[in-house]
Amino acid sequence: MDMTTQLLSLENVVSMEDLSVADVMSLIREANDFKNGKQVDLVRPTYAANLFFENSTRTHTSFEMAERKLGMTVVNFDPAASSVKKGETLGDTLKTLQAIGVDMVAIRDRKNEYYKDLVEDPNIHMAIANAGDGSGQHPSQSLLDMMTIYQEFGNFKGLKVAIVGDLSHSRVARSNMEVLTKLGAKVYFGGPKKWFTDDFAEYGEWREIDELVPEMDVMMFLRVQHERLAADENGSFSDVKYHQQYGLTKDRERQMKDDAIIMHPAPVNRDVEIADELVECDRSRIFEQMKNGVFVRMAIIASMLRFKNLIEE
């Protein structure tokens, strides 16, 4: 694929559906440049705030690291102590931050498509990066996954990628199935069949994990999201049984193609989705995904700062 695409200038980055193949490749290219030491100069002091209304380690700290590497000042925001707890709307919270000089925000919220009202509000001018909305979209995670796959194979066309696990609650699965299909990969699904719904069937077929393992170039596992499961599902859930039926056991890993890789957006439930010994094995790219996340988020933020003419080119 062509990696000479022009640098992007994006007003907001909220959904993978908004990004073309050229956009995705441009973001991967700039992320790779950042990984290789690229730096940018800001035209003035620039400020960011991270509004995480759901727990997060990787995405939250990764956005903050990306902002600091770009030379931005990060304004502390604690959802538990914010006026949202008093009933203030998210839109009014953003307008408050905007009024005091914040230029961009990264937001994670439980509500699907929370960002729609924000990007359509004519009085909100700050850049918005979606850091995850409910079971909807997670564009920065999807882009770091694409960067990791591209780094490994140098292409997407013809690759076979299996997304296995808690599909129905996963914004990662939804974002990735869409962009992988756009990029020319063939997507398959695995895990409990009750979590494979019609929206996934549009992008690929479901197979038993033992059929997937020998054929796939990428085995991408998803965390079982206990916090989103119904009480009766959680009550009957068995880690051991799940691992035996749907997880990557050591025996299954031995059936994988020689150059196939293991991915997971993390946090990993060790010995549930993936055997403990395989989380950091030679074919695992889980921690490389995390590393790439900083550079992808730098590229996302840089594209939005470029739109606001805040980067010296």
- Give per-residue pLDDT as tens, 77-99: 988 878 887 789 999 999 999 99
CA distance 124 to 119: 7
Nearest to 185 by CA among 217, 151, 139, 225: 217
**pLDDT band of 227, cuts 50, 70, 90:** low
Q: Are residues 144 and 191 in the same domain?
A: yes
- Please measure the distance between the N-terminal and C-terminal CA atoms of the chain and give it in whole angstroms: 25
CA distance 109 to 52: 7
Total of domains in the chain? 2
Q: Are residues 119 and 30 in the same domain?
A: yes
Residue 3 inside a domain? The answer is no
Q: Are residues 150 and 235 in the same domain?
A: yes
Instruction: State the pLDDT at residue 87.
Output: 85
Q: How many CA atoms lie within 13 A of 293 on its CB side?
A: 25
Instruction: Report, as an integer, the average pLDDT of 51-62.
Output: 93
Chain segment 123-146, per-residue pLDDT in tens: 999 999 999 998 889 999 999 999
Instruction: State the pLDDT at residue 82.
Output: 82
Q: Are residues 161 and 198 in the same domain?
A: yes
Q: Which two tokens stand for residue 166?
A: 């808690």
Containing structural domain, residue 264: 139-285
Pairing of the two strands 311-312 and 127-133: unpaired
Residue 275 near residue 251 (C-beta atoms within 8 A): no
Residue 211 inside a domain? The answer is yes
Q: Are residues 217 and 131 in the same domain?
A: no
Task: Residue 194: count other Cβ atoms within 10 Å of its Cβ.
Answer: 9
Residue 107 inside a domain? The answer is yes
**Given a cut of 50, is residue 3 above it in pLDDT?**
no
Residue 99 inside a domain? The answer is yes
Residue 26 inside a domain? The answer is yes
Q: Are residues 62 and 200 in the same domain?
A: no
Instruction: State the pLDDT at residue 313.
Output: 78
CATH of the domain at 90: 3.40.50.1370
Residue 9 inside a domain? The answer is no
Task: Residue 28: count other Cβ atoms within 10 Å of its Cβ.
Answer: 25
Residue 6 inside a domain? The answer is no
For a pLDDT cut of 70, what percent of the chain falls above it? 95
Q: Are residues 133 and 143 in the same domain?
A: no
Instruction: Report, as an integer, the average pLDDT of 61-72.
Output: 98
Instruction: Provide the Cα torsion 292, 294, 297, 299; round to 10°.
Output: -70
Residue 178 inside a domain? The answer is yes
Threshold 0.85, pTM exceeds: yes
